[in-house]
Amino acid sequence: MSPVLRPPRFVSSTLEFVHRHEVLLWSLHSLWALALGIVVMWAGSHNYAWIRVTILYIAFLWVASLFVPGLVDPPDRPTRWRGRLRLVINYFSKNFYQQLLFFLLPIYYASATAWSPNLLFVAFLAASALLSTFDVFYDRHLSVRRDLTAVFFAFNLFACINVMLPVLWRISNRVALPVSAALAVGAFATIRYRLGDLAKFQVRRQVGLAGIALVLLVALGRPLIPPAPLRLLATEFGQGVDRQTFQVTHPFDSLPDGWSGRVYAVTSIYAPLGLSDRIGHRWYVDGRLVWTSPYYKVEGGRKDGFRLWTAIPIRAVRPGERLRVEAWTEAGQLVGRAGIRAGGRS
């Protein structure tokens, strides 16, 4: 009978230490992942070209999300290799999620407007990024349930495709939103249900209803989604505009009390090179909408942003009255806002 081979003492001691302090070690790894995410956020805010790499990340995450729930050990037939394989796949999945989401976060944040509903989407994306760094929660809860895995991946896929289409293929936000929603529905269906289940009428009906609900949600909830990668760089108000340089003339810091005349606003809107979209202005006086401009074609790639100007007549400005202009996409997404007040700064 051949002798049983035992690992060296330091190997067995190391394995025992890792097993005993597994939760602590994973928690430390979560802190490391969070620090790495901050570095990726910096990259995402400086170079959109990295988004090309996310295509490979999405492909891996989609495949992993399909198979990882099936690697969960049945209670009556535990197998060691399936648990280890699941941990390995989860490790790569978490890292890919972290790099993907922390890359997208500053892009959406830059496109969101302060004190507007579209900050909620940024908050959900930030929560999703943080969840991907919690190793213990991801391994023990999120990755072992098909419903949670499907929702998590579908939301993140929507957020990624919604930016990828305008940046890589110059597709406007009006088209990118429904395309991203359709892919998210497909991702949810393939991960939530097994292939055999999709042939059942009841399952197909559930997927169809979920798809209709998501399309309606995107159609009605467009103001909740930042128009990434578009963002407002600056807004200037004045008594006129130079048609050659698109600069305001006789700029206003505030409107004189009792002033009457035409007020011009020039907004500088950032868009990546080659991107084409349509933007318009909405003018408000003390929160009341007074005029909506037509939508104008925006061509991306200009260093100082695409300059769009409009004007409205104002009569007998009252003290404290606030004039505000907002830039909106044709798809119904707020790009940014700025305003001035009579007798003081905005």
201 in the same domain as 111: yes
User: Would residue 346 count as lying in a domain?
Assistant: no
User: Would residue 135 count as lying in a domain?
Assistant: yes
Residue 316 pLDDT: 87
Q: Which candidate, 225, 52, 21, 44, places its Cα nearest to that of 129?
A: 44
Q: Does the CA dihedral 58-53-126-121 come out positive or negative?
A: negative
Of 224, 254, 275, the position where a domain reaches its end is 224
User: Would residue 4 count as lying in a domain?
Assistant: no
Report the DSSP beta bridge partners of residue 268: 234, 307
**Lowest-confidence range among 13-22, 137-146, 162-171?**
13-22
**What is the tens place of the pLDDT at every residue in 109-125?**
999 999 999 999 999 99
User: Would residue 1 count as lying in a domain?
Assistant: no
Domain containing 33: what range?
Answer: 9-224
pLDDT above 50 for 324: yes
Residue 21 pLDDT: 54
pLDDT above 50 for 76: yes
Which of helix, strand or coil describes residue 280? strand
**What is the tens place of the pLDDT at every residue in 251-287?**
988 998 888 999 999 999 998 877 889 999 999 999 9
Residue 341's contacts (CB-CB under 8 Å, 6 or more residues apart) are 254, 255, 320, 321, 322, 323
What average pLDDT is seen over the chain? 83
157 in the same domain as 70: yes
131 in the same domain as 49: yes
320 in the same domain as 285: yes
Of 179, 205, 224, the position where a domain reaches its end is 224
Give residue 39's pLDDT band: very low, low, confident or very high (50, 70, 90): low
Mean pLDDT computed over 145-165 = 92
User: Would residue 2 count as lying in a domain?
Assistant: no
User: Would residue 190 count as lying in a domain?
Assistant: yes
61 in the same domain as 198: yes
173 in the same domain as 254: no
Most confident of 202-206, 316-320, 340-344: 316-320
Burial 261-270 (b: 16+ CB within 10 A, else e): eebbbbbbbb
pTM: 0.84
Q: How far apart are CA 35 and CA 328, in angstroms?
A: 35
User: Would residue 3 count as lying in a domain?
Assistant: no
User: Would residue 293 count as lying in a domain?
Assistant: yes
68 in the same domain as 38: yes
124 in the same domain as 257: no
- Please give the share of the chain, as a percent, with pLDDT higher than 70: 81
274 in the same domain as 243: yes
259 in the same domain as 180: no
**What is the tens place of the pLDDT at every residue in 96-107?**
898 888 889 889
The more confident residue out of 32 and 250 is: 250
Most confident of 48-52, 188-192, 293-297: 293-297
Report the DSSP beta bridge partners of residue 274: none
Q: How far apart are CA 34 and CA 133, in angstroms?
A: 6
Residue 237 pLDDT: 96
Q: How many domains does the chain have?
A: 2
Q: How far apart are CA 164 and CA 174, in angstroms?
A: 14
pLDDT above 80 for 15: no
**What is the tens place of the pLDDT at every residue in 54-65?**
888 889 889 888
Residue 124 pLDDT: 95
Residue 10 pLDDT: 53
Of 224, 242, 257, the position where a domain reaches its end is 224
The structure tokens listed for 266 are 């020039």
34 in the same domain as 174: yes
104 in the same domain as 38: yes
Residue 167 pLDDT: 86
First to last CA, the chain: 88
**Three-state SS letters, 205-261:** HHHHHHHHHHHHHHHHCHHHCCCCCCEEEEEEEEEEEECCCCEEEEECCCECCCCCE
Task: Using the structure block, give the residue that is written with the tokens 């990340």.
Answer: 57
Q: Does the CA dihedral 288-290-294-300 come out positive or negative?
A: negative
pLDDT above 90 for 210: no
Q: Could you tell me the CATH number of the domain that includes residue 317?
A: 2.60.40.10
